[in-house]
Chains A and B, each alone.
Chain A
Amino acid sequence: MSLAAAAIPPSECRRVCVALALMLGLLAAAPGLRSARAQVDPFEFEVYPYRTVGEGVAELEWLNSYVPWGHQHGEIGTSAGTLPSNQMLRTSGELTYGLTDHVEAAGYLNLARPNAGGVQYGGAKFHLRGNLFEQGELPVDIGWYVELESWPTPGIDTDPLELELKPILEKDIGRWSFILNPIFEKPVFTGPDRNRGFEFGYANGVYYRWMPRISPGLEFYGGSGFIDGFLPVQTQQHYIFAVLWGELPWGGVEYNCGPGVGLTHGSDHVITKCNLEIERFVGALL
């Protein structure tokens, strides 16, 4: 396939436009909200690969994280709200659908259970993710990701509406996969920071394909603050996770779980994550 032939055909453009219009509609319908500094997204410790789900495939994902050793105050560590991160349990349900072989759309519902508290609604997110070329067609596989995040609960996150953009870069070398997700995120529409530009963060991973049932990997997550004025290193967040990933022997359920440690004072000390996903072909909807 030539590079020109790999461009998105008109039918795919139409589907992408429909999905973009939906996202813009959600943006326009969102109520006026205030803004604050965004951080690492603790509801989604996930590194996105180049590959999207295929056309007509629905994927259900359950993302979980728990902070056994965090901070006792809000707005530090993974807490972007007034509630402290220590012993915070977060869970997120994500439904992804492949609009085409190269573009997928997803919606999330976030819930959180703070220490000694009940379950709270954490917010919702919507994303579009895609790529232009076949995997392996370029020396480095390059994809894209656009996400709109709504955080209506100040206890969970004081940053009410954010736009997140991230390129996806992946390179396979033998049994190893190296994935980079640099993250550019900004509060939109309201609040004192809305004109400050983008914050920078990252979600990167190194994975070794050992066995389909179980393989090891390392994941790196972090946030450095606004691009035009990074935070002092000790107040930034940086984490390393040692993960095991693979497919469970029943039901085609895939998992990615493991503990993570914070590397700076601004990070939570220990976090655990466990993501489960299952996919089924449901057919083209558009």
Chain B
Amino acid sequence: MKMKLILIIMEATKPVMKSAAYGVIAAMLLLAAAQPAQAANYAARIQFRHGHFEPQRLTVPARQPLTLRVVNQSRRAIEFESFKLNRERVVAPGRTITLYLPALEPGRYDFYDDFHQEVPAGEIVAQ
């Protein structure tokens, strides 16, 4: 009787269990993909104060991953954005954000405050 009940429950929950199994497989695949990025990043820092970025031109080594900290020392929120780098992050007043950038090919990559178009754009020069 007990076995029959278990079989009925198993049959009734079969579709749900099957979906759950797919979910577990998907989660495992995601975890497998989520390996830490390489650690040997070049570290740099940009701060925003007095209405502009400092430094306005940041030179970094080419073909080396970059960890970029953006510090907002102003009293207004900014949006640090770079189309070429595909980055767009709000930085609240007094806050610091960290951006992880892949190894850059030699070249110039502009960035700007998308909330305030009057702010002079800066650039990252990879060489």
Chain A interface (Cβ within 8 Å of chain B)?
1, 3, 51, 53-57, 98, 101, 134-140, 142, 167, 169, 172, 174-175, 177, 182, 184, 186, 195-198, 209, 212, 226-228, 252, 281, 283-284
Contacts and interface: CB of A to CB of B under 8 A. Distances in A.
B12 interface: yes
Interface of B: 12-16, 18-19, 22-23, 26, 30, 33-37, 77, 79, 83-84, 86-90, 92, 97-102, 105, 114-115
A136 B88 CA distance: 12
A101 B16 CA distance: 34
B90 A281 contact: yes
Contacts of B90: 53-57, 98, 101, 281
Nearest to B22: A227
A101 B114 CA distance: 16
A139 B92 contact: no
A167 B29 CA distance: 11
Nearest to B21: A227
Contacts, number: 90
Given A137-B37, A142-B33, A184 B89 contact: no
A198 B15 CA distance: 9
20 contacts: A51-B88, A54-B89, A54-B90, A55-B90, A135-B86, A135-B100, A138-B34, A138-B35, A139-B34, A140-B34, A142-B30, A172-B86, A175-B84, A195-B16, A196-B15, A197-B15, A198-B22, A209-B84, A209-B86, A227-B22
Contact of A172 (B19, B79, B92, B102): B102
A91 to B, nearest CB: 26
Contact of B83 (A3, A184, A209, A284): A209
A51 B88 CA distance: 8
Given A134-B98, A281-B115, A198 B35 contact: no
A227 B126 CA distance: 48
Given A51-B88, A167-B26, A252 B114 contact: yes
B84 to A, nearest CB: 7
Contacts of B23: 184
Nearest to B23: A184
B87 to A, nearest CB: 7
A142 B97 contact: no
A51 B12 CA distance: 39
A227 B83 contact: no
B34 A142 contact: yes
Nearest to A140: B33
A191 B25 CA distance: 28
> Which has the most chain A C-beta neighbours within 10 Å: B15, B35, B115?
B15
Contact of A228 (B18, B83, B86, B92): B18
A35 B84 CA distance: 46
Nearest to A182: B26
A131 to B, nearest CB: 11
A197 B16 contact: yes
Contacts of A196: 15
Nearest to B30: A142
A244 to B, nearest CB: 15
Given A177-B86, A228-B18, A136 B99 contact: yes
B97 A101 contact: yes
Nearest to A215: B83
Nearest to A198: B19
A61 to B, nearest CB: 15
A137 B100 contact: yes
A284 B19 CA distance: 38
Nearest 6 CB-CB pairings of A with B: A54-B90, A197-B19, A136-B100, A197-B15, A212-B83, A198-B19
> Which has the most chain B C-beta neighbours within 10 Å: A54, A137, A284?
A54
B57 to A, nearest CB: 20
